[in-house]
Amino acid sequence: MPDDQTLRFATQAIHAGAAPDPATGARVQPIYFTNGFVFDSTEQAADIFAMRRTGFSYSRGSNPTVAALERRIAALEGAKAAVAVASGQSAVMLVLMTLMRSGESYVASPRLFGGSLGLMRRLDGRYDLQPQFAKGLAPEDFEAAITPRTRAIVCESIVNPCATVMDIEGIAAVARRHGLPLVIDNTLASPALIRPIEHGADIVVHSTSKFLGGSGQTIGGIICDAGRFDWNRPDRYNLINEPWPDYEGLVVRERFPDMPFAVACRLFGLRDLGPGLSPMNAFLTLTGIETLPLRMERHCANARAVAAYLKDHPKVDWVSYPGLPGQPGEALVKRYVPQGPGSIFTFALKGGEPAAIKFIMGLDLISHLVNIGEIKSLAIHPASTTHRQLRPEERAAACVGPETVRLSIGLESVEDLIADIEQALAKLD
Ligand SMILES: *Cc1c(COP(=O)(O)O)cnc(C)c1O
């Protein structure tokens, strides 16, 4: 097999990280449903436990099916290594908890997925990991929020729910100037649309529950380590720089210089905290990824057509989809996502919140549910659901008002989607 990193994207999506099974010749990645793996000797067992050699021991920390998914997504993102976890939410949590200890801070985009904002508030209140929200979305706004206690910068590549495309290179330049790792949540783009590491990101996270899995069947998350950030700062990143007494003084940065952040996430995040991904979910996600490049093309084309239809409709007040000509953020779309800014976006009706609710209830084909990025088209009212737990000012910063409707456009024939939207709009006064 050629080296995964030299293959082109669509080939990687099908082949990277998984070869025919050496034991049986099975062409599809087998699902290894086993908690434990038999050791050859007590020495081997001790070596694996001490991290002196790699190998499978217990599926909470690593499993062959999950490892195939990790290798595939690492190849797609151009990362050195990846760690799969139980959900996108645990991916974001483990990144923050691995990077920082109590009393340290990170600069975060004010415009983030509601679940991430809620998590950040809780980690602040209970564990004193302090988010410093930028005042705006420009690189200067991120820079202005940095203090001596800042340990990372966190943002999304394309923002859930309003499809804003972030200036990743501008923010990466700020991060580099201040010696901080840049963490990008790439869920809404998927590596088919944006590979943040190519634009300067150091850590990439995903909810694989969305485009990567693609069919809305399984919850999962992943953390990718670009492997090039210089962690060598004695006063910070202690899981990477300081000896682990319970691993005979292991210093992660010295033993694993190519992928120290991924190793720290696995040791602390999976061995200690424990939110591992099931091999079954890894298998389903791998299967989904095989068609990712094709699906993303159609997701983008359908979303553009639906957004254009809505923009011209007399009952529609505004559409937030920067993939349309003349929309704010058009330049960033051209620069980072020429294929289009994904298929999740928001819009509002002139009739405000009552019309938004009536519209969602009037849809037949498009499902009223809270996932995104799956092959079926979906609609939700974020202010009363996904963004409900936020304070009004946080909701406003995240671009969610009472009048906002979020759509996730799927792969159906676009004429049927527009017909469904048309009949739901016709029911409004
Ligand atoms: C859905 C989502 C998450 C959380 O992922 P889960 O798999 O639902 O836990 C995190 N970030 C973004 C941008 C998301 O859309």
CA pair distance 186, 156, nearest whole angstrom: 6
Interval 48-105: pLDDT, tens: 988 889 999 999 999 999 999 999 999 999 999 999 999 999 999 999 999 999 999 9
**Residue among 390, 425, 422, 363 nearest 161 (CA):** 390
CA pair distance 383, 312, nearest whole angstrom: 24
**Pairing of the two strands 105-108 and 150-156:** parallel
Query: What is the three-state SS of the chain?
Result: CCCHHHCCHHHHHHHCCCCCCCCCCCCCCCCCCCCECCCCCHHHHHHHHCCCCCCCCECCCCCHHHHHHHHHHHHHHCCCEEEEECCHHHHHHHHHHHHCCCCCEEEECCCCCHHHHHHHHHHHHHHCCEEEECCCCCHHHHHHCCCCCEEEEEEECECCCCCCECCHHHHHHHHHHCCCCEEEECCCCHHHHCCHHHHCCCEEEEECCCCCCCCCCCCCEEEEECCCCCCCCCCCCHHHHCCEHHHCCECHHHHCCCCHHHHHHHHHHHHHHCCCCCHHHHHHHHHHHCCHHHHHHHHHHHHHHHHHHHHCCCCEEEEECCCCCCCCCHHHHHHHCCCCCCCEEEEEECCHHHHHHHHHHHCCCCEECCCCCCCCCEEECHHHCCCCCCCHHHHHHCCCCCCEEEEECCCCCHHHHHHHHHHHHHCCC
Report whether pLDDT(282) > 90: yes
Report whether pLDDT(231) > 80: yes
Of 117, 210, 374, best ligand 1 pocket probe by most atoms within 8 Å of the beta carbon: 210
Please give the domain boundaries of the chain with CATH numbers for all domains.
7-289 (3.40.640.10), 293-426 (3.90.1150.10)
Report whether pLDDT(3) > 80: no
Mean pLDDT of 392-398: 83
Mean pLDDT of 112-116: 92
Of 73, 96, 112, 113, best ligand 1 pocket probe by most atoms within 8 Å of the beta carbon: 113
pLDDT recorded at residue 19: 93
**Residue 214 C-alpha to ligand 1 middle, in angstroms?**
13
Of 73, 89, 374, best ligand 1 pocket probe by most atoms within 8 Å of the beta carbon: 89
Q: Average pLDDT, whole number, for the chain? A: 96
Mean pLDDT of 10-19: 96
How many residues are listed for the chain in this entry? 429
Of 166, 186, 207, 370, best ligand 1 pocket probe by most atoms within 8 Å of the beta carbon: 207
**Residue 50 C-alpha to ligand 1 middle, in angstroms?**
33
Residue nearest atom 5 in ligand 1 by C-alpha distance: 88
Q: Which residues have any ligand 1 atom within 6 Å of their CB? A: 87-89, 92, 113, 115-116, 156, 160, 185, 187-188, 207, 209-210, 219, 221, 372
Report whether pLDDT(20) > 70: yes
**Pairing of the two strands 378-380 and 404-408:** antiparallel
Report whether pLDDT(277) > 70: yes
CA pair distance 334, 322, nearest whole angstrom: 10
Is the pTM higher than 0.95? The answer reads yes
Mean pLDDT of 292-313: 98
- Encoded tokens for 155: 């943002």
- Encoded tokens for 147: 């203090």
pLDDT recorded at residue 398: 77
Report whether pLDDT(372) > 80: yes
For residue 221, give the ligand 1 atom closest to its CA: 7
Residue nearest atom 2 in ligand 1 by C-alpha distance: 207
Q: Are 343 and 408 in contact (CB under 8 A)?
A: yes
Mean pLDDT of 221-238: 96
Mean pLDDT of 138-149: 98
**Residue 305 C-alpha to ligand 1 middle, in angstroms?**
25
Would you place residue 386 in the very low, low, confident or very high pLDDT band (cuts 50, 70, 90)? confident
Give Cα separations from 410 to 1, 61, 189 (angstroms).
34, 34, 14
- In sequence order, what are the residues at sequence separation of 6 or more whose Cβ sits closer than 8 angstroms to the Cβ of residue 23? none
Mean pLDDT of 381-400: 86
**Residue 89 C-alpha to ligand 1 middle, in angstroms?**
6
Would you place residue 235 in the very low, low, confident or very high pLDDT band (cuts 50, 70, 90)? very high
What amino acid is encoded at 416 in this protein?
D
pLDDT recorded at residue 172: 98
Report whether pLDDT(241) > 80: yes
**Residue 301 C-alpha to ligand 1 middle, in angstroms?**
23
pLDDT recorded at residue 2: 62
Distance of CA 370 to the CA centre of its chain: 16
Q: Bigger pLDDT: 408 or 4?
A: 408
Would you place residue 1 in the very low, low, confident or very high pLDDT band (cuts 50, 70, 90)? low
CA pair distance 338, 233, nearest whole angstrom: 38
Q: Are 60 and 271 in contact (CB under 8 A)?
A: yes
